Amino acid sequence: MSPLTNALVVYWQRLPAEPPAARRRCLESTVTRLREGRESCGASALLPFALGDSDDSIVMDATLAYLEPAEPSGTVATKTLDEAADWVRRGLALNRSAVFAALLSRGDEPTLKRLAALRLTLSTAEVETACRLLGPAPVQQVVEFLRGWLELLADSPLHRERCVLAASIQGRERAEAA
């Protein structure tokens, strides 16, 4: 078995008995150790949280921490973005909608390009979760991405997804106007 598989098995064994608050504290401790350079496994220590948890906020925060730029330029490595997008594409994350939302919340062009090919693979529930997790006022590039997504669905039978996206866009426009 691979080290990641072993880590996920251990994580899933703890999951039913450990409340989200305890898992969140463990995630925060792991992120702190990473930022201080004290985590021997590197960013892969975040994978059980990002791939194996079901809690929206834990998965989103773990994914965002995984995507934190390692270099001072602030640029996320292409390999890291590709990996996270692959978690959505291949259904590797237990909560792929939270991974999608984390990626989308970044709002940068390289990430949005990767998500453009994935947005039509999400279920209605995943679209709802991703839009909810974005919060009230994401960056303008994210709103444009949502508008483009809505246009793609204009003539499709996916009425519920169109409604979710339209409501999400309207909510952001209201927040922006306030």
Token output for 39: 């985590």
Whether pLDDT at 53 is above 70:
yes
pTM metric for this prediction: 0.89
Whether pLDDT at 174 is above 80:
no
Of the given ranges (35-49, 109-123, 154-168), which has the lowest mean pLDDT? Answer: 154-168
Q: State residue 12's pLDDT score.
A: 86
**pLDDT, mean of residues 32-56:** 90
**pLDDT, mean of residues 79-93:** 94
**Half-sphere exposure in the Cβ direction for 46 (13 Å, CA):** 24
Of the given ranges (12-16, 17-21, 103-107), which has the lowest mean pLDDT? Answer: 12-16
What's the mean pLDDT when you consider all of the chain? 87
Q: State residue 138's pLDDT score.
A: 67
Q: State residue 74's pLDDT score.
A: 55
Whether pLDDT at 24 is above 90:
yes
Between 60 and 162, name the one with better pLDDT: 60
Cβ(67)–Cβ(79) below 8 Å: no
Distances from the Cα of 139 to the Cαs of 3, 33, 47, 74, 176, in angstroms?
37, 29, 26, 18, 10
Between 106 and 159, name the one with better pLDDT: 106
**pLDDT, mean of residues 79-92:** 94
Whether pLDDT at 170 is above 90:
no
pLDDT tens, position by position, 123-157 = 999 999 999 998 766 678 998 999 999 998 887 77
Distances from the Cα of 52 to the Cαs of 59, 131, 138, in angstroms?
8, 21, 26
d(CA 157, CA 73): 44
CA 57 centroid distance within chain: 9
Whether pLDDT at 72 is above 70:
no
